[in-house]
Amino acid sequence: MLNLKFIQENPELVIAKLKKKNFDASAIVLQITSLSVKKNEIQASADNFKAEMNKISKEVGLLMREGKKEEANAAKKRTSELKDSIKQLDEDFAQIDKEVFNLQVLLPNLPSDLVPEGRTPEDNMVVRSFGEIPVLPENSIPHWELAKKYDIIDFELGVKITGAGFPVYKGKGARIQRALISFFLDEARDSGYLEIQPPLMVNEDSGFGTGQLPDKEGQMYHATEDNLYLIPTAEVPVTNLYRDVIVDVKDLPIKNTAYSACFRREAGSYGKDVRGLNRLHQFDKVEIVQIAHPDNSYELLDEMVAHVAGLVEKLELPYRILRLCGGDMSFTSALTYDFEVFSAAQEKWLEVSSVSNFESFQANRLKLRFRDEATKKTVLAHTLNGSALALPRILASILENNQTPEGIRVPKVLVPYCGFEMID
RNA sequence: GGAGAGAUGGCAGAGUGGUCGAACGCGGCGGUCUUGAAAACCGUUGACCGUGUGAGCGGUCCGGGGGUUCGAAUCCCUCUCUCUCCGCCA
């Protein structure tokens, strides 16, 4: 959520910047600024009436104590009129305040100046490519067939007990999942992240805090009986740890990591994109989250990108890093780098990580602040997060890229975690 | 699931209709003392909105919402949440 004062003071800038996200904000911004003027006028007169009311109440109290009942009753007479005015003004204020808020949440985050122009994924900017695209042996097959061949992932069994998009991992399939999780968490810890094990369900306030609610309500599984949501990513609980908190500036940056299962309804997805491990309703992911000082949040974003790059390189997977264009960015992000690994048998790039700086967009919803040492005022912190990493597509490309006639070779770095070198 | 208790500032915890935004304590910050630190002592210490160049001024907030009253942390209604005991149970 953009800061209201900022919108009021920089309406043209907001409109201009959101153009890059292909979002025409002019009507909303205009409404917000004109409603805000009205809102302030209402508050000014309501505050005046309230001040008068408070004064009278105090006087009545004093007169009563002195036993001057007549005078007290005379003073009371003025109040009923004031009360009505106050009530009316408070109602008007609440109404207009809500209108402003409802408009405010419609505005996406402003893209950073680094964000390239563009509308579609084709317009994303490749900022780095790494590794050779492997040449696969004859008769190589996509990961869903490999999974069946070596009996490590059973998609049909998942359909039976739950539904499509809920695979069952078996034997070495289950073990390599566990290995990847441990590997990612250890790497994060080595980079200074504190490991968190968060709840997998969150309440409405948390959903709002990180921006899933109200707009993306349909993408989360909702346990209506208790009004809780299954998390789509550990970003939600881990970032919400700091909701309504004024953190100590000395503690910044705060670096947390968490493994969690992630649940996504993926309403609207279809076709070859959902084949095998490409898109699931439940998957595993290790997330990294930072709470940062605005002065260095972009340096920290680069640091996070470097961390993720290190992971993919250690797994010996060819990858590229994209800087997302305005049209392909999420609602809440100011700058996003996507990581894609090459899936050799499918012959396509698969997104395995998304690393973003949200600047103060989430923090404004979360009321996550720190106190500026010079001015002594509270300032919104910056929040950042990234997948480090999401498992399914990583596993898909490991399976496909490392297939040999003898079986699937496990990346060296994972062998100590797995306890085996080949899936065969 | 049954019964009861409770929700107050960063924490702990008073306050049951009128100078209460809220005592005391802890913590934090500043100072005295000290070579330095600790201890001790003194002082200070909530958030948000509006307004003003600023000092300031005004307003709101004692879990959420509503009500009674000239006046509510305090009384009434309602919702939510937490804790304790019993039952069930990984």
Asked if A212 and A237 count as a contact pair (C-beta separation under 8 A), the reply is no
> How much is the average pLDDT of A122-135?
93
> What single-letter DSSP state applies at residue A119?
S
> What single-letter DSSP state applies at residue A224?
T
- CA separation for the pair A364, A94 (Å, rounded): 20
Sheet architecture: strand order including A228-230: A201-202, A228-230, A222-223
pLDDT at A272: 64
A160 touches strand B (CB under 7 A): no
pLDDT at A249: 87
A388 touches strand B (CB under 7 A): no
A79 touches strand B (CB under 7 A): yes
Tell me the whole-structure pTM to 2 decimals: 0.93
A163 touches strand B (CB under 7 A): no
> Distance (Å) from CA A375 to C1' B71?
37
Q: Which nucleotide is nearest to A53 (CA to C1')?
A: B70
Q: Which nucleotide is nearest to A48 (CA to C1')?
A: B58
> How much is the average pLDDT of A212-241?
89
Q: Which nucleotide is nearest to A65 (CA to C1')?
A: B18
Omega into A214 within 30° of 0, i.e. cis? yes
Q: How many C-beta atoms lie closer than 10 Å to residue A351's C-beta? A: 15
For strand B, list residues 282-311 of chain A whose Cβ lies within 7 Å of it.
none
A60 touches strand B (CB under 7 A): yes
Of A47-56, A63-72, A260-269, the least confident: A63-72
Task: Please state the length of chain A.
Answer: 424
- CA separation for the pair A238, A87 (Å, rounded): 41
Pairing outcome for strands A335-343 and A348-357: antiparallel
- CA separation for the pair A372, A379 (Å, rounded): 6
A64 touches strand B (CB under 7 A): yes
Residue spans of alpha helices (H) in A315-376: 361-366
Between residues A120 and A374, the one the model is more confident about: A120
> Distance (Å) from CA A378 to C1' B25?
27
Q: Which nucleotide is nearest to A50 (CA to C1')?
A: B59
Q: Check pLDDT > 70 for residue A223.
A: yes
pLDDT at A418: 95
The number of angstroms, rounded, from the C-alpha of A275 to the middle of its chain's C-alpha atoms is: 26
Burial (CB < 10 A; 0-12, 13-18, 19+), residue A339, is: buried
Type of residue at A399? L
A42 touches strand B (CB under 7 A): no
> Distance (Å) from CA A292 to C1' B7?
32
Asked if A71 and A122 count as a contact pair (C-beta separation under 8 A), the reply is no
- CA separation for the pair A384, A354 (Å, rounded): 11
The model's confidence at residue A374, banded by pLDDT at 50, 70 and 90, is: confident
- CA separation for the pair A61, A161 (Å, rounded): 71
Highest mean pLDDT (candidates A63-77, A234-248, A308-322): A308-322
pLDDT at A180: 98
Q: Which nucleotide is nearest to A56 (CA to C1')?
A: B70
The model's confidence at residue A120, banded by pLDDT at 50, 70 and 90, is: very high
Q: Check pLDDT > 80 for residue A270.
A: no
Element containing residue A19 per DSSP (H, E): helix A11-19
Asked if A326 and A22 count as a contact pair (C-beta separation under 8 A), the reply is yes
> Distance (Å) from CA A377 to C1' B44?
17
Pairing outcome for strands A246-247 and A201-202: unpaired
The model's confidence at residue A271, banded by pLDDT at 50, 70 and 90, is: low
A246 touches strand B (CB under 7 A): yes
- CA separation for the pair A272, A278 (Å, rounded): 8
- Residue pointed to by tokens 């917000």: A32
Element containing residue A236 per DSSP (H, E): helix A235-240
> Distance (Å) from CA A258 to C1' B8?
35
A33 touches strand B (CB under 7 A): no
The model's confidence at residue A214, banded by pLDDT at 50, 70 and 90, is: confident
A54 touches strand B (CB under 7 A): yes
Q: Check pLDDT > 80 for residue A9.
A: yes
- CA separation for the pair A84, A406 (Å, rounded): 85
Burial (CB < 10 A; 0-12, 13-18, 19+), residue A270, is: exposed
Q: Which nucleotides of B are covered by protein (CB under 7 A)?
A: 18, 47-51, 58-60, 70-71, 81
Q: Check pLDDT > 70 for residue A140.
A: yes
A5 touches strand B (CB under 7 A): yes
> Distance (Å) from CA A327 to C1' B56?
48
> How much is the average pLDDT of A130-146?
90
Strand, coil or helix: A149: helix
pLDDT at A35: 94
> How much is the average pLDDT of A5-17?
94
Q: Check pLDDT > 70 for residue A215.
A: yes
The number of angstroms, rounded, from the C-alpha of A303 to the middle of its chain's C-alpha atoms is: 18
Q: Which two tokens stand for residue A12?
A: 């043209």
ipTM of the complex: 0.88
pLDDT at A17: 96
Q: Check pLDDT > 90 for residue A266.
A: no
> How much is the average pLDDT of A190-215?
91
> How much is the average pLDDT of A228-248?
93
Q: Which two tokens stand for residue A86?
A: 């106050």
Q: Which two tokens stand for residue A156?
A: 């049909």
> How much is the average pLDDT of A335-353?
94
Strand, coil or helix: A297: helix
Omega into A103 within 30° of 0, i.e. cis? no
pLDDT averaged over every residue in chain A? 92
Q: Check pLDDT > 90 for residue A372.
A: no
> Distance (Å) from CA A250 to C1' B24?
30
The model's confidence at residue A292, banded by pLDDT at 50, 70 and 90, is: very high
> How much is the average pLDDT of A248-266?
92
pLDDT at A69: 80
The beta strand positions in A204-359, using DSSP E, are 222-223, 228-230, 246-247, 254-263, 282-292, 319-323, 335-343, 348-357
> How much is the average pLDDT of A392-400?
95
